[in-house]
Every structure is written in C-alpha cells, then in structure tokens.
C-alpha cells in the first residue's frame, strides 16, 4: 500500500545533540513537507520541497535543516541550535491537491 513512513515513532536525545527524523514516501509525490506540532499550537510548517534537490524554508525553519536527494525521501535534522526541540513532528507529501500525512515522530530532548 502507498503511504508515508516516519521513523521512529518515539525518539529521545540529549540536549546539544543533532538528530535526524526519517520520512519516506512511495506515492510518487513531488512535494513533501515537515510540520511541527506543539500543544495548543496547531501545525507549523518547518520546511517544504516541491521537487528533488530543492527546498524552501517554512515559518519556523530556524534550528532545522533538510535534504531532498531522492524523490522518496525528505529527512529532517533537528540541530543543537533549535532552542526547544521537544515536539511532535509530522511529514506530509502532496499529489495534486491531496495531502498525505505520516503517523509522526515524537521527539523528546532531555
């Protein structure tokens, strides 16, 4: 079945460490997105990519980095520069006007 896979579901890291969240899709979608969700804040856009080897900053890109070397993959790195990285992260892809979301990764930094 086609879909988006985010791994792992739960991730724990020590403060000051970089961590990379995985997002893979087999929907053949060109566009992919990363969102962050905090309690009571809704979903905020971190980065998005419309095509391979190209990506743009969203509303809250500071402290994050991405790459888009393959159509299927859009990993997100949470760097040590992100001041408050503990959150729920959702990846999405778009085909036409349909957006498909992954099941999310809950990152906790201790």
Partner 1 sequence: AQKVTQAQTEISVVEKEDVTLDCVYETRDTTYYLFWYKQPPSGELVFLIRRNSFDEQNEISGRYSWNFQKSTSSFNFTITASQVVDSAVYFCALSNRDDKIIFGKGTRLHILP
Interaction residues for partner 1, span 40-59 (CB under 8 A): 40-45, 48, 50, 58
User: Residue 68 phi/psi, 5° resolution?
Assistant: -145, 75
The window from 17-25, 35-43, 63-71, 72-80 that contacts partner 1 (CB under 8 A) reads: 35-43
DSSP 52-77: TTEEEE-TT-TTEEE--SBTTB--EE
* 104 counts as binding partner 1 under rule CB under 8 A: yes
From candidates 97, 107, 108, 110, binder to partner 1 by CB under 8 A: 97
Please provide the distance, in angstroms rounded to a whole number, between the alpha carbons at the two ends of the chain: 36
**74 near partner 1, rule: CB under 8 A:** no
Residues binding partner 1 (CB under 8 A): 31, 33, 35, 40-45, 48, 50, 58, 88, 90, 92, 94, 97-104, 106
């Amino acid at each position: 079945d086609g879909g988006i896979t985010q791994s792992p579901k739960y991730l724990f890291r020590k403060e000051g460490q970089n961590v990379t969240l995985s997002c893979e899709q087999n929907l053949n979608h060109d566009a992919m997105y990363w969102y962050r969700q905090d309690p009571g804040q809704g979903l905020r856009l971190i980065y998005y990519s419309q095509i391979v080897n190209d990506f743009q900053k969203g509303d809250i890109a500071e402290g994050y980095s991405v790459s888009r070397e393959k159509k299927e993959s859009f990993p997100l790195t949470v760097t040590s520069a992100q001041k408050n990285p503990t959150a729920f992260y959702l990846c999405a892809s778009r085909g036409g006007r349909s957006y498909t979301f992954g099941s999310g990764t809950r990152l906790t930094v201790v």
